[in-house]
Structure 1
Amino acid sequence: MKDKALVLFRKLYRLKDKIAFYPGLLAISGLVFTYLMIYLEEQGISKYLLDVFPSLVINNTETARSLLTTFISGLISIMVFSFSMVMILLNQASSNFSPRLLPGLISNRRHQIILGVYIATILYCIFILVYIEPESDKYQLPGFAVLFSILFMVSCLAAFIYFIHSISQEIQINNIMDKVFNISKSRMLYLIDNEAYNENDFPETDNWITYKSRSSGYLQNVAAEKLADIAKDKEVKIDIAVIKGLFVSEKNILFTSEKDLDEETLDKIHEQFDFAKSEFIEDNYVLAFKQITEVAVKAMSPGINDPGTALNAIDYLSQLFSLRIKKNDKSLAYIDDLAYVSMATVSFKDLIFQVMAELRTYCKHDVVIVEKLLKMLLHLKRIAAEENKTYLPIIDEEIESLILDAEAAIANKRDIVFIKSVA
């Protein structure tokens, strides 16, 4: 029962990344507040305030109706305009930068909250407008509730001004890359700080029993500590065969075990894997390398021709690789100094090859970009000499490949001499 509750909690936690989560939450809050105000009006709060603080209460039916009608139509126009701009931002980011950036932009929490404030205010005004009775023997004008609609409308105008400022910042590629970098940096620092690995602590897994995936999608998260508890309870070791962040099809090998496992244990183990149809940097730092690399490649395309953006992207990649050098290629989950679960990650060799292969293919003809890449690799080489010397041959291989591609693509001998002098 506890395991099922944890699985349900993880699924609910994923809802926060949906564009409708915060708007829906705020819309429900707006409805609840509306009925609270209606209840207070039924208790005579407006009549009481009219006697005590008459300046706080709107006591004219036509004025109240005109205000609420104007607020509703105005807010709908503002909402349509605001999120037309969001669609323009997403279209520009997709065409000019990279489609991989879209999930991060769509899940912008500030914009979702602003949309929720709009919707909550519209619902509040509609229900208060319906509550107003045209004529009655007893006092029915919800003057105090109408006052709150004015306050909500002022809040919406402030939110709209903030939205214009925010969207003007979001559309700038430097801010987009900086956000991607900071999220990835935080994720890597967390992994480095919590990483535990000793090569001799886990046995070879070549002849272990394989188990296939029951779901398909991107492997977003693995509850390693919970898996370690299950493994300890069953006195078995588990090796996760799939790298987190990669797409897994049903019937692909998901993990291996040194012993045969019963069906109940397998059900518990499969519950510890989270699959999704999209990728987020919060779960997979490798996605940041892909996104920033694609921004650099797109910037160097003939249609955009923006080498300045490519240079900035390489600076961010250099910082990310500097952190990645400090991380091992594998992680182990321990309990009482015993390793029970082994988790594979994208190796440094594969990661830097994937990044450099794209950059070499599309940027090898540009002397300035090649120089920048060489300086990045030399910088990484100095860090690797201090942090992890096993990565030095990998970096040397990438330097050699970059120079070979540049020699084949650049015709000017003086440029080639300059590039070799940098290396």
Structure 2
Amino acid sequence: MKTRIATLVENIRASFWFIPVVMTLGAAVLAYVAIRLDMILGADWLRSFGWLFINNPDGARAALSIIAGSAITVAGTVFSLTMVALTLASSQFGPRLIRSFTRDRNTQYALGTFVATYLYCLLVLAEIRSSDEYTLVPNLAVLVGIVLAVAGIFVLIFFIHHVSVIIQAQHLIAVISDDLQETIRRLYRPALAPDSDEARQLKQAAEMHAEIAEDGGVVPAGASGYLQGVDEDALLELAHRRDLVLDLVPRPGDFVLAQGALARVIPAEAADEDLAREINGAIVLGTQRTPHQDLEAYIYQLVEIAARALSPSLNDPFTAMTCVDRLGAAICLLDEMQPPSPFRFDGDGRLRLVINIFTFAGAVDAAFDMIRQYSRTQAAVTIRMLETLAQIAAQTERADRRAVLRHHADMLRRGAQEALPEPHDLGVVEERHRRVMRAIGEQDHT
């Protein structure tokens, strides 16, 4: 349940309607409160506001009508500008980047401000009364409407500036990079050396995992879709209650096929329909990848920007190099963190659940493979990638991670030797490759 709620919250954050709706409801409450306060406090204390004090019913109607008409017109303009920004983002950066734009709080607040002002003025207009026997002008509520109109002017100025900023590649890359690093800090913890008991427990769990992969019964998925979230607590409780060991095959971000292998279980005979129903109830599937538990989703967003920048239609290596810089910073941060253990134990210390986790090697592959493939003929991008690998290698202390970095450096070097015709460019690539080797602590004898 907790995972479903977290996924729902993430989807609401990425929606464009939630904050404007909340602000519109707030405007209705504000109108009610302002009208009631006006009845309680009276209008005498408002006369000190001078020309802002409107006591004539016709004047109040005219002022609120103008504000309401202007607010809804500007709301349409805000919506139109937002659609233009989304269209540009989709064509230049990729359709998967639209989520970053719809999550933008400032755009949502701008639209909400004008829609809320429109509704507020309509509600206050309905309270104005004028006849030969009775006249009612909610002066405080009218004054609040004027204040909202003035605030809307500043919001409009800010929004125009904001739109001109958010469609810039550098800004979008920085926003995605910040979200990526925040997700790393949320999903991972600072690296610590495991004690001897923990190391022995993990070794035994790894041996049992191999047994599950070979002899475990298969639990099928009930539907197709991208795995958006896994309720680990529910799966752990299920495995403990039924005395099982579960191995979840896909990880968040993977596409799951209906009737495909969702989990493996020991003992194999426990893989019945009831177990499949409970396991399917502990996961969240959707039509797209979401970054709540999927670190690779943010990495691929930066990679997509870089890949599109390297396409012949754009041919923008500077944007691609910026993406490489940001990806390098994220990999360095990931190197400082300890990935969560794939093994989950119950209160008695028995292995109950195995989770497919996103590894350092997987992050480096996701970050650099596609960019390397698109940049074979781009000497500047190849050189920047080698420089980034050298910086990461200088930081990491683990031999297995250095081997991953060397593998990528060697692939970049071979690709450059095959695709770059200029000897000077090849010489620079060779020099940067030697830097990677020195950072790794190996000599390049080839």
Write the distance in 1 (CA, Å) between the matches of 2:6 and 2:395: 41
Query: If the length of structure 2 is used for normalisation, what is the TM-score?
Result: 0.84
The residue aligned with 1:16 is 13
Write the distance in 1 (CA, Å) between the matches of 2:35 and 2:129: 13
The residue aligned with 1:170 is 166
Per-residue deviation, 1:59: 0.6
Cα displacement string for residues 28-60 of structure 1 (whole angstroms, at most 9, x for unaligned residues): 22223333444555xx33xx5224443465211
- 1:332 corresponds to which of 338, 343, 347: 343
Report if aligned partners of 2:290, 2:297 keep a CA contact under 8 Å in 1.
Answer: yes
Letter of the aligned partner of 1:311 in structure 2? M
Cα displacement string for residues 154-187 of structure 1 (whole angstroms, at most 9, x for unaligned residues): 2222322322232232122122111111111121
The residue aligned with 2:78 is 82
Q: Give 1:52-131 correspondences, 5 Å limit.
A: 52-55=45-48, 57-131=53-127
Cα displacement string for residues 91-133 of structure 1 (whole angstroms, at most 9, x for unaligned residues): 2222222322111111112221222222111111112113323
Decide which moves more: 350-359 or 181-190: 350-359
Write the distance in 2 (CA, Å) between the matches of 1:240 and 1:210: 10
- 2:284 corresponds to which of 274, 291, 294: 274
Q: Give 1:303-382 correspondences, 5 Å limit.
A: 303-325=313-335, 326-328=337-339, 331-336=342-347, 337-382=349-394
Per-residue deviation, 1:144: 2.0
Report if aligned partners of 2:3, 2:230 keep a CA contact under 8 Å in 1.
Answer: no
Report if aligned partners of 1:22, 1:113 keep a CA contact under 8 Å in 2.
Answer: yes
Report if aligned partners of 1:23, 1:117 keep a CA contact under 8 Å in 2.
Answer: yes
Structure-2 change in CA distance of 1:67 and 1:234 (3 Å): same
SS of corresponding position for 1:77: helix
The residue aligned with 1:200 is 204
- 2:399 corresponds to which of 374, 378, 389: 389
Write the distance in 2 (CA, Å) between the matches of 1:329 and 1:71: 55
Write the distance in 2 (CA, Å) between the matches of 1:9 and 1:188: 17
Write the distance in 1 (CA, Å) between the matches of 2:412 and 2:97: 27
Write the distance in 2 (CA, Å) between the matches of 1:284 and 1:357: 18
Write the distance in 1 (CA, Å) between the matches of 2:231 and 2:190: 14
The residue aligned with 1:220 is 228
Cα displacement string for residues 212-253 of structure 1 (whole angstroms, at most 9, x for unaligned residues): 222332211112123222222222221111121122232222
Q: Which runs of 4+ in 1 moved over 4 A?
A: 5-10, 38-41, 194-197, 261-266, 326-330
Q: Give 1:114-153 correspondences, 5 Å limit.
A: 114-153=110-149
Cα displacement string for residues 33-88 of structure 1 (whole angstroms, at most 9, x for unaligned residues): 333444555xx33xx52244434652111211111111012112221222222222
Write the distance in 1 (CA, Å) between the matches of 2:102 and 2:3: 26
The residue aligned with 1:30 is 27
Letter of the aligned partner of 1:422 in structure 2? R
Write the distance in 2 (CA, Å) between the matches of 1:364 and 1:53: 72
SS of corresponding position for 1:280: coil
Write the distance in 1 (CA, Å) between the matches of 2:390 and 2:33: 65
Write the distance in 2 (CA, Å) between the matches of 1:200 and 1:140: 80
Structure-2 change in CA distance of 1:418 and 1:92 (3 Å): same
Report if aligned partners of 2:46, 2:139 keep a CA contact under 8 Å in 1.
Answer: no
- 2:260 pairs with 1:248: no
The residue aligned with 2:442 is none
Give aligned-pair identity as a percent. 22
Write the distance in 2 (CA, Å) between the matches of 1:99 and 1:79: 24
Write the distance in 1 (CA, Å) between the matches of 2:418 and 2:178: 36
Structure-2 change in CA distance of 1:338 and 1:382 (3 Å): farther
Write the distance in 2 (CA, Å) between the matches of 1:335 and 1:153: 59
Letter of the aligned partner of 2:297 in structure 1? L
- 2:310 pairs with 1:300: yes
Instruction: Count the aligned residue pairs.
Output: 414
Structure-2 change in CA distance of 1:276 and 1:109 (3 Å): farther
Write the distance in 2 (CA, Å) between the matches of 1:96 and 1:23: 27
Letter of the aligned partner of 1:110 in structure 2? N
The residue aligned with 2:441 is none
- 2:402 pairs with 1:402: no
User: Tell me, which stretches of 5 or more residues in structure 1 are unaligned?
Assistant: none
Per-residue deviation, 1:286: 0.7
SS of corresponding position for 1:313: helix
- 2:287 pairs with 1:284: no
Report if aligned partners of 2:229, 2:285 keep a CA contact under 8 Å in 1.
Answer: yes
Write the distance in 1 (CA, Å) between the matches of 2:3 and 2:259: 25
Structure-2 change in CA distance of 1:97 and 1:31 (3 Å): same
Write the distance in 1 (CA, Å) between the matches of 2:8 and 2:366: 32
Per-residue deviation, 1:255: 1.6
User: Tell me, which stretches of 5 or more residues in structure 2 are unaligned?
Assistant: 434-446
- 2:60 pairs with 1:49: no
RMSD: 2.7
Per-residue deviation, 1:134: 3.8
Query: If the length of structure 1 is used for normalisation, what is the TM-score?
Result: 0.88
Structure-2 change in CA distance of 1:408 and 1:265 (3 Å): closer
Structure-2 change in CA distance of 1:53 and 1:92 (3 Å): closer
Report if aligned partners of 1:183, 1:282 keep a CA contact under 8 Å in 2.
Answer: no
Letter of the aligned partner of 1:390 in structure 2? D
Write the distance in 2 (CA, Å) between the matches of 1:148 and 1:227: 53
Decide which moves more: 254-263 or 80-89: 254-263
Letter of the aligned partner of 1:331 in structure 2? P
Report if aligned partners of 1:314, 1:376 keep a CA contact under 8 Å in 2.
Answer: yes
Decide which moves more: 321-330 or 405-414: 321-330
